[in-house]
Structure 1
Amino acid sequence: MNVGQLMEKLRALPPDATVLIEGDEGYSPLGGIDVQHNDNGLPDEVILQPDMTPD
């Protein structure tokens, strides 16, 4: 999935819904977004980071 496809999917969702990331330990709220810029013709990558705030 690329950013354009993700944006299209997100537009169809309720704007006040919480974004969660599924991981080995269950679900975590989205805490941030990082961009990995690549060279040699590889596409850049968007990395979704979980919220690491203690419960």
Structure 2
Amino acid sequence: MNVLQLIEALHRLPPQATVLLEGDAGYSPLGAVELFSPGGGQPDEVLLQPDMTPD
């Protein structure tokens, strides 16, 4: 999935919905979106990071 496909998918969802990331330990709220540019001819990547705030 690329950024445009992600944006299109998100536009179809309720704007008040919480975004969760699924992982081995369950679900975590989305905490940050970061652009990673590896260089060397590699494509840019978007990293979705979980919210690490303690419960």
Shorter-chain TM-score: which interval?
over 0.9
Task: Give percent identity, aligned residues only.
Answer: 65
Per-residue CA deviations over 1:9-55 (Å, capped at 9, x if unaligned) read 00000000000000010000000011111222211000000000000
Gaps of 5+ in 1: none
Match of 1:14 in 2: 14
Which runs of at least 4 in structure 1 moved beyond 3 Å after TM superposition?
none
Q: Give 5+ residue unaligned stretches, structure 2.
A: none
Normalising by structure 1, we get a TM-score of: 0.95
1:1-55 alignment runs, 5 A limit: 1-55=1-55
In 2, the alpha carbon distance for the partners of 1:12 and 1:22 equals 20
Q: With structure 2 as the length reference, what TM-score do the two structures score?
A: 0.95
Q: Report the Cα distance in structure 1 between the residues aligned to 2:25 and 2:32, rounded to whole angstroms.
A: 18
